[in-house]
Amino acid sequence: MEEALLPHTEERTRASTTFVEELKKVTYIAAPMVVVTVSLHLLQVVSLMMAGHLGELSLSGVSIGGSFAGVTGFSLLASLLFSILLLVYAPKRYKPSL
């Protein structure tokens, strides 16, 4: 008459093993991306540490320059590249029919 709110133990263990298997697959794919991202951030930290030994002015210059390049330089480069690729490949794929 009364049904349990949680599934039986064998259904729970099957679901948990499926979850663990999927988690292993995703981790196998995502681990290299995590390593690269952490390495890129550590590279900027090392640059800041080296500039910090030169003085406060050098440290602030490297910090502001890195932030400026990250926000404007790379985004402008990406948008410029996207625009160029759009101009090159769009006319070839979509020919107007008159």
Is 98 within a domain?
no
> pLDDT value at position 34?
94
48 lies in which domain range?
9-53
The pTM of this model reads 0.50
Whether residue 42 contacts residue 52, with contact meaning beta carbons closer than 8 Å, is answered with no
- Tell me how long the chain is: 98
8: enclosing H helix or E strand: none
**Confidence check: pLDDT of 1 > 60:** no
Is 89 within a domain?
no
> pLDDT value at position 5?
65
Count, in order, helices (H) and strands (E) of the chain.
Answer: 3, 0
In the structure encoding, which two tokens stand for residue 15, read together? Answer: 């679901």
pLDDT grade for 74, boundaries at 50, 70 and 90: confident
pLDDT tens digits, 49-67? 898 899 899 889 988 988 8
In this prediction, residues 9-35 reach a mean pLDDT of 84
The number of distinct structural domains making up the chain is: 1
